[in-house]
Amino acid sequence: MVPVRGSIAVAATAATLLAGFAPMTWAQAAEPPPASSATCVPQAGWVEPSKGTVPGPQLLQRAAGSAVVMLGERHDSAEQHRWQLQTLAGLHAYRPDLVIGMEMFPRRVQPALDRWIAGETTERQFLEETDWRTVWGYDSQLYMPILHFARMNRIPVTALNVERALTSRVGKEGWTQVPADQREGIGDPAAASEAYTDFLADIYAAHGRPGGATAEVKEDPAFQRFRDVQVLWDRAFAEGLAAAHRKAGSLAVGIIGGGHLENRHGVPHQLNALGLQDNVVLLPWAANRPCADLTPALADAVFGVSADPETEEPSWRPRLGVSLAPQEGGIRIESVANDSVASAAGLQTGDIILAAAGTPTSEVGKLVEIVSRQAPGTWLPLSVRREGATREVVAKFPGL
């Protein structure tokens, strides 16, 4: 729901960008770093960008004394989730009165989270009750170790996100057009900084959106609605973490995409506006990230991790390459990733997917399930409505 991250990984199993539930996934830089970049953040070591290396116990003890700690991630990185779990365990040792806030869950599934923590449901029941495939879609096993850790230690987990219907509406109409009683209790966000707006404009333009240069993109009403969605997510996460902390004075630890944290533009900015300046941003630092990114403003501290998935045995997953939103009678394509299966098949923004492999697709989760069953090198027939006409499209998945 995360940069030198010049591209966004849009998977069929996660409805990303402005219409999707999961906020943007900000991919790590694809180019290898200069040879000297490994020296700025050593593997398995903590670095404070403004000061240099710092012992882990010292850093975690200091962080545990704050009101809110945010742990960034790239959603599809197993290594970064392992780092989150390690850091959570360290914080918990210093601060047992800990609450975990996760952007992966909308507020409506809070009762299911409570049942999971209480030990009342199995893993399968939990994933079904939280509607995992629909609301998040990334491999659940990336997150289950964190959730099992919370359950083992009876650490409350708070759902930070909002419904996809709200983000989709904001993406189409803008935040100010949504009545207050239909905002899921979210207050008006603090305005995005100019630097954050520039950053989001670069991301927006990089994904084939019209607008040209950053200055031109920023004047585009469609981009402004896109920014509204990102800031809505930032505000929702911040309000959830603030409420978790203030409820009992506990340390609230957020599990959140790094793009909402880096340079303190997103969630930290909203926390400050809510009067919670005592917040800390900790980020994983992938080994292939250039040292030029390690600016004092980036985070309070970073931890050196491997650059997976490049350094791990690759696993094949079927990816259509679209962002999706439910619509009456089908599923609307909100954006199409460049060089994706969807773009090669000729799918376009605004298309309504009516059926996949002959099965009607009125729910995003159903389409996710169908796509997830595709084997390498297979074809998936799709029925699509475009400009009032129905047409057949074949999505061809690459072989191994």
Task: Identify the pLDDT of residue 315.
Answer: 58
Mean pLDDT estimate for the chain: 88
Q: In terms of domains, do 388 and 296 share one?
A: no
Task: Identify the pLDDT of residue 244.
Answer: 98
Q: In terms of domains, do 125 and 259 share one?
A: yes
CB atoms within 10 A of CB 210: 11
Task: Identify the pLDDT of residue 11.
Answer: 31
- Does pLDDT of 3 surpass 80? no
Q: State how far the Cα of 387 lies from the Cα of 400, in Å rounded to an integer.
A: 35
Q: In terms of domains, do 253 and 371 share one?
A: no
Percent of all residues in the chain with a pLDDT value above 70, rounded to a whole number: 87
The token pair that represents 357 in the structure block: 């492999």
Residue predicted with more confidence, 351 or 369: 351
Mean pLDDT to the nearest integer, 66-91? 97
Phi/psi for 330 (5° steps) reads 175, -155
Q: In terms of domains, do 157 and 282 share one?
A: yes
SS3 content of the chain, % helix, strand, coil (to 5): 40, 20, 40
Phi/psi for 71 (5° steps) reads -110, 115
Task: Identify the pLDDT of residue 158.
Answer: 99
Cα 193 to its chain centre, rounded Å, is: 20
The number of domains in the chain is 2
Q: In terms of domains, do 220 and 271 share one?
A: yes
- Does pLDDT of 20 surpass 60? no
Q: Are strands 279-286 and 98-106 parallel, antiparallel or unpaired?
A: unpaired
> Which of 236, 271, 305 is where one domain is finished?
305
The residue behind tokens 């970064």 is: 80
Between helices 110-117 and 144-152, what is the axis angle to 10°?
60
The verdict on residue 384 lying in a domain is yes
Q: State how far the Cα of 104 lies from the Cα of 116, in Å rounded to an integer.
A: 15
Q: In terms of domains, do 256 and 332 share one?
A: no
Q: Of the candidates 315, 380, 268, which has an alpha carbon nearest to the alpha carbon of residue 78? A: 315
Q: How many residues are given for the chain?
A: 400
Q: In terms of domains, do 185 and 137 share one?
A: yes
- Does pLDDT of 213 surpass 90? no
Q: In terms of domains, do 76 and 32 share one?
A: yes
> Which of 253, 277, 305 is where one domain is finished?
305
Task: Identify the pLDDT of residue 12.
Answer: 31
Residue predicted with more confidence, 224 or 307: 224
Of 86-100, 144-158, 216-230, 356-370, the least confident: 356-370
User: Could you list the residue range(s) of the whole structural domain that residue 366 is in?
Assistant: 322-396
Of 24-38, 100-114, 267-281, the least confident: 24-38
CB atoms within 10 A of CB 48: 14
In tens, the pLDDT along 109-151 reads 999 999 999 999 999 999 999 999 889 988 999 999 999 999 9
In tens, the pLDDT along 142-192 reads 999 999 999 999 999 999 999 989 998 999 999 999 999 999 999 999 999
The verdict on residue 28 lying in a domain is yes
- Distant-in-sequence contacts of 114-118, Cβ < 8 A, 24+ apart: 114/156, 116/147, 116/151, 116/157, 117/150, 117/151, 117/154, 117/155, 117/156, 117/157, 118/154
Q: In terms of domains, do 253 and 355 share one?
A: no
pLDDT band at 16 (very low <50, low <70, confident <90, very high): very low
CATH number, residue 101: 3.40.50.11550
The verdict on residue 145 lying in a domain is yes
Half-sphere exposure of 121 (CA within 13 A, CB side): 16
CATH number, residue 333: 2.30.42.10
Torsion of CA 378, 75, 233, 184, to 10 degrees: 70
Within the chain, how many helices (H) and strands (E) appear? 13, 14
The token pair that represents 392 in the structure block: 């057949």
Task: Identify the pLDDT of residue 35.
Answer: 38
